[in-house]
């Protein structure tokens, strides 16, 4: 994901997406109504499609190598978070609502096939459902790597659209869940990545206009609660990402070190924030913090602990997995 991390706007969007999901969960716990914060997931999905295309186009990457890289990037951190959440949920169930702590769901969560309730999956790590969708997308993407580049693009578009069509034909189950229309957000990211790699340009003002339109549509999505997620949040996410990367191509963006750092830490912020939120909630209750002040302290405390998780868990893991560079003679 080196190229992706070199695009500063992508780093900033990753940070914004992760923190918005964190704030969504904090507000949801206190009934403060920040549902649009959950759209950070949709931004992540579009970014994922973009990054997967940008980092593989024109490179001799095979399906096996691609999947190994993806698994090494996701599995260690997610398994550690799943194990920690499982232990805490067993020991302190009063802090974890509707978490299925059966051994079957633990194993299923580790394999990205958690328990299904209603029409959704419910892993041990509440927000981990998105990683199950990511892994499903990676499987489809890895198959595309067997094809020439132009055929890859058409294969991915046809396959992802066909998957969504199948959603309306399949009975409830894993296949029905994993073929939700939200899968098309990955396809949109791929198209943006293709355009970006081919040198496509937008005027700076047009690109900024796309970003503004995306954020306005996100804010307006609360007025259309019955609209499908792909429409209400997916389309704005596509506009935001498109505007961001093409605006950066024209004029660049300011280098803000801390926001870039938060982009690096976004995976940890996303994966750990519910568990760290439980820890911070317990501390706030013990310290007697007034109820009205708790959401702000909870958001800041959760963010601080997730950054610690990034520094002392995720980053050391990534360093150990990074191939050693040959020393010069």
- Total of domains in the chain: 1
Q: For residue range 56-81, list pLDDT tens digits in order.
A: 999 999 999 999 999 999 999 999 99
User: Is residue 148 a part of any domain in this protein?
Assistant: yes
Residue 292: domain span = 2-321
Q: What is the pLDDT of residue 164?
A: 95
What is the per-residue pLDDT across 284-296, written as a single tens digit (0 to 9) for each?
Answer: 999 999 999 999 9
Residue 18 falls inside a structural domain: yes
Q: What is the helix (H) or strand (E) element at residue 121, kind and residue range? A: strand 120-122
Q: How far apart are CA 278 and CA 96, in angstroms?
A: 8
Q: How many residues does the chain have?
A: 329
Asked if the structure places residue 328 within a domain, the reply is no
Q: Locate 83 and state its tokens.
A: 């194990």
Residue 218 included in any domain: yes
- Tell me the three state secondary structure of residue 122: strand
Asked whether residue 324 carries a pLDDT value surpassing 60, the answer given is: no
Model confidence pLDDT, tens digit, residues 77-121: 999 999 999 999 999 999 898 899 999 999 999 999 999 988 899
Q: Which residue has the tokens 């940890």?
A: 268
- Supply angle C-alpha 7, 1, 47, rounded to 5: 65
Give residue 312's region: left, alpha or beta (phi > 0; psi -120 to 50).
alpha
Indicate if the pLDDT at residue 301 is higher than 70.
yes
Q: For residue 119, what is the DSSP state?
A: T
Total-model pTM: 0.95
How sure is the predictor about 171, in pLDDT bands with cuts at 50, 70 and 90?
A: confident
Contact yes or no for 138/120 (Cβ under 8 A): no
**What is the mean pLDDT of the segment spanning 213-234?**
92
Residue 155 lies in a domain: yes
| Sign of torsion over alpha carbons 316, 322, 324, 328 | negative
Q: Is residue 95 part of a domain?
A: yes
Q: Is residue 327 part of a domain?
A: no
User: What pLDDT does 1 receive?
Assistant: 37
Task: Please say whether the beta carbons of 187 and 161 come within 8 A.
Answer: yes
Q: What's the pLDDT at 2?
A: 44
Q: CA 103 from chain center: how many Å?
A: 26
What distance in Å separates the CA atoms of residue 174 and residue 244, rounded to the nearest whole number? 34
Q: What are the C-alpha distances in Å from 57 to residues 7, 80, 192, 234? A: 16, 32, 13, 24
Lowest-pLDDT range of 132-136, 144-148, 149-153, 280-284: 149-153
Which helix (H) or strand (E) covers residue 230, if one does? none
Phi, psi of 265 (to 5 degrees): -90, 5
**Residue 329 placed within a domain:** no
Mean pLDDT of all residues in 7-20: 97
Q: Residue 314 corresponds to which tokens in the numbers above?
A: 């995720």
């Amino acid at each position: 994901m080196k190229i992706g991390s070199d695009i500063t706007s992508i780093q900033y969007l990753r940070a914004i997406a992760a923190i918005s999901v964190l704030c969504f969960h904090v507000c949801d716990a206190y009934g403060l109504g920040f549902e649009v914060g959950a759209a950070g997931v949709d931004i992540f999905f579009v970014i994922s499609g973009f990054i997967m295309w940008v980092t593989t186009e024109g490179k001799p990457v095979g399906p096996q190598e691609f999947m190994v890289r993806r698994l090494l990037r996701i599995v260690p951190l997610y398994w550690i978070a799943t194990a920690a959440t499982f232990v805490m949920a067993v020991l302190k169930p009063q802090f974890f609502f509707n978490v299925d702590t059966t051994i079957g769901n633990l194993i299923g969560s580790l394999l990205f096939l958690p328990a299904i309730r209603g029409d959704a999956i419910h892993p041990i790590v509440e927000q981990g459902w998105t990683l199950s969708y990511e892994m499903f997308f990676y499987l489809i993407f890895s198959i595309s790597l067997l094809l020439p580049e132009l055929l890859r693009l058409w294969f991915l578009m046809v396959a992802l659209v066909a998957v969504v069509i199948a959603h309306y034909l399949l009975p409830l189950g894993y296949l029905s869940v994993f073929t939700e229309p939200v899968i098309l957000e990955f396809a949109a990211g791929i198209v943006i990545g293709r355009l970006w790699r081919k040198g496509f340009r937008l005027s700076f003002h047009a690109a900024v206009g796309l970003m503004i339109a995306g954020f306005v549509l996100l804010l307006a999505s609360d007025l259309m609660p019955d609209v499908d997620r792909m429409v209400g949040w997916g389309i704005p996410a596509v506009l935001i990402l498109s505007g961001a990367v093409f605006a950066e191509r024209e004029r660049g963006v300011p280098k803000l070190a801390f926001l870039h750092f938060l982009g690096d830490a976004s995976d940890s912020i996303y994966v750990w924030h519910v568990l760290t939120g439980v820890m911070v909630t317990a501390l706030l209750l013990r310290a007697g913090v007034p109820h009205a002040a708790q959401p702000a302290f909870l958001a800041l405390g959760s963010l601080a602990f997730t950054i610690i998780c990034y520094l002392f868990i995720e980053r050391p893991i990534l360093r150990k997995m990074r191939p050693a560079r040959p020393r010069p003679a």
